[in-house]
């Protein structure tokens, strides 16, 4: 019933994030693009582990029940924690860049280098 819709959404989110990270000049928008790519990858991992009618893999006495794969869920949880830390680090770099250069435009920062 779900079909390929989640994969199309994943592709759109990753494409939108890459476009934002590559073609925007505002440093905060670049960080938002990187975060969109990360969210798309997380959604892709969760979609890979989905099974229709699957149960949670925490029941040890379930008989003949299809279980949802726990590995993509664990990878996604780890990815979310790492993503929050790297996003906080990138935003703190932007704050320091703004304090030093008084701009968050990537071209202004490159021009003022030196």
Residue 86: per-residue pLDDT = 96
Helix (H, G, I), strand (E, B) or coil at 37: helix
Closest CA to 87 of 24, 17, 6: 17
Beta bridge partners of 55: 67
- Residue ranges of the chain with per-residue pLDDT less than 50: none
Residue 49: per-residue pLDDT = 80
Give dist(CA 41, CA 25) in Å, integer: 23
The CATH class for the domain spanning 5-52+68-111 reads mainly alpha
- The answer to whether 101 and 109 have CB atoms below 8 angstroms apart is yes
Residues 6 or more apart from 30 whose CB is under 8 A from it?
A: 20, 21, 24, 106
This prediction has a pTM of 0.83
Residue 55: per-residue pLDDT = 72
Taking residue 8's Cβ as centre, other Cβ atoms within 10 Å add up to 10
Domains of the chain, by residue range, sit at 5-52+68-111
Beta bridge partners of 67: 55
Query: Can you tell me which residue has the tokens 């979310």?
Result: 80
Residue 107: per-residue pLDDT = 85
Query: Can you tell me which residue has the tokens 């938002």?
Result: 32
pLDDT tens-digit profile of 59-81? 666 666 777 778 888 899 999 99
């Amino acid at each position: 019933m779900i079909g390929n819709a989640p994969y199309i959404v994943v592709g759109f989110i990753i494409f939108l994030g890459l476009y934002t990270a590559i073609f925007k000049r505002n440093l905060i928008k670049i960080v938002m693009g990187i975060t969109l790519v990360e969210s798309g990858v997380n959604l892709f991992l969760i979609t890979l582990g989905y099974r229709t009618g699957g149960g949670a893999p925490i029941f040890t006495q379930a008989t003949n029940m299809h279980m949802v794969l726990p590995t993509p869920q664990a990878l996604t949880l780890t990815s979310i924690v790492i993503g929050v830390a790297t996003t906080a680090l990138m935003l703190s770099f932007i704050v320091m860049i703004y304090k030093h250069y008084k701009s968050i435009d990537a071209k202004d920062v490159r021009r003022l280098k030196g």
